[in-house]
A = this chain, B = another copy of it.
């Protein structure tokens, strides 16, 4: 089946308190798309965070002693480091300019996903990730499903750096109504062998695909409509995409 990813045109800059469902519906209408069973909407975390008012001004942050030390070691703003630590369970690695953490949501990423891009004109405004991306996805899904009558999936994505390879790739940080993993283990291939590496990170592959069409700069389009996702939709949540620390050989 053909997979079609359509970035929604004409979305305005999102502001705190904005109704994301209404913005998505308007974008779908501009694209001439009518939601159907099995469709998925992929949202950049940035617009979810902004709608949820997750901005923090560095002027309001007082770094603690741990942030002060880590800021010295990484040569980052101690107030930003304080924010990173507050959003994290632990620091996994750090070096000049970079702090890799286990985020409080469970994934490993740089700088706790805190970004200042595209937020506001003030130089000290930073944007935290959504408080509960799975919950944000579920709420948006409920609204859009009620309005459309279609069975939908929602993924909220971010761009993460990776071990071993250069460049970022889109990954899912919150989802509702689509599988994170698709377990093909036990299925047989053409000759009857059991497939070996066949637990597929389907929601992350989808996130990467959507990230590709979103772009990241001024011309970016933070919502992508997906038709043709090849696996059955089901209930799921972020933890299924996260490897337990104890089972991770690269922590």
Q: Which positions in A face B, CB cutoff 8 Å?
A: 1-7, 13, 93, 95, 100, 107-108, 110, 115-121, 159, 161-171, 180-182, 184, 187-191, 193, 195-202, 204-209, 211-213, 215-218, 228-230, 240-243, 248-251
A-B contact pairs, 11 of them (CB 8 A): A2-B5, A13-B190, A121-B191, A166-B241, A167-B200, A168-B199, A168-B200, A190-B218, A206-B209, A208-B209, A209-B212
CB closest residue in chain B, given A161: B197
CB atoms of A209 and B165 under 8 A apart: no
Known: A169-B169, A209-B209. 10 other contacts (CB 8 A): A2-B7, A4-B5, A95-B249, A118-B189, A119-B191, A163-B248, A163-B249, A165-B204, A167-B182, A205-B211
* Copies of this chain in its oligomeric complex: 2
CB atoms of A250 and B209 under 8 A apart: no
Contacts of A243 in B (CB 8 A): 163-166
CB atoms of B250 and A188 under 8 A apart: no
A120–B174 CA distance with the chains assembled, in angstroms: 40
Contacts of A212 in B (CB 8 A): 3, 200, 202, 205-206, 209, 229-230
State which of B13, B180, B218 has its C-beta within 8 Å of the C-beta of A167.
Answer: B180
Main secondary structure of the interface of A (DSSP, over half): loop
CB closest residue in chain B, given A170: B205
Contacts of A240 in B (CB 8 A): 166
CB atoms of B201 and A213 under 8 A apart: no
State which of B164, B201, B215, B217 has its C-beta within 8 Å of the C-beta of A168.
Answer: B201
State which of B7, B121, B196, B208 has its C-beta within 8 Å of the C-beta of A169.
Answer: B208
Contacts of A115 in B (CB 8 A): 196
A190–B44 CA distance with the chains assembled, in angstroms: 15
State which of B107, B180, B209 has its C-beta within 8 Å of the C-beta of A205.
Answer: B209
CB atoms of B169 and A201 under 8 A apart: yes
CB closest residue in chain B, given A240: B166
CB atoms of A93 and B169 under 8 A apart: no
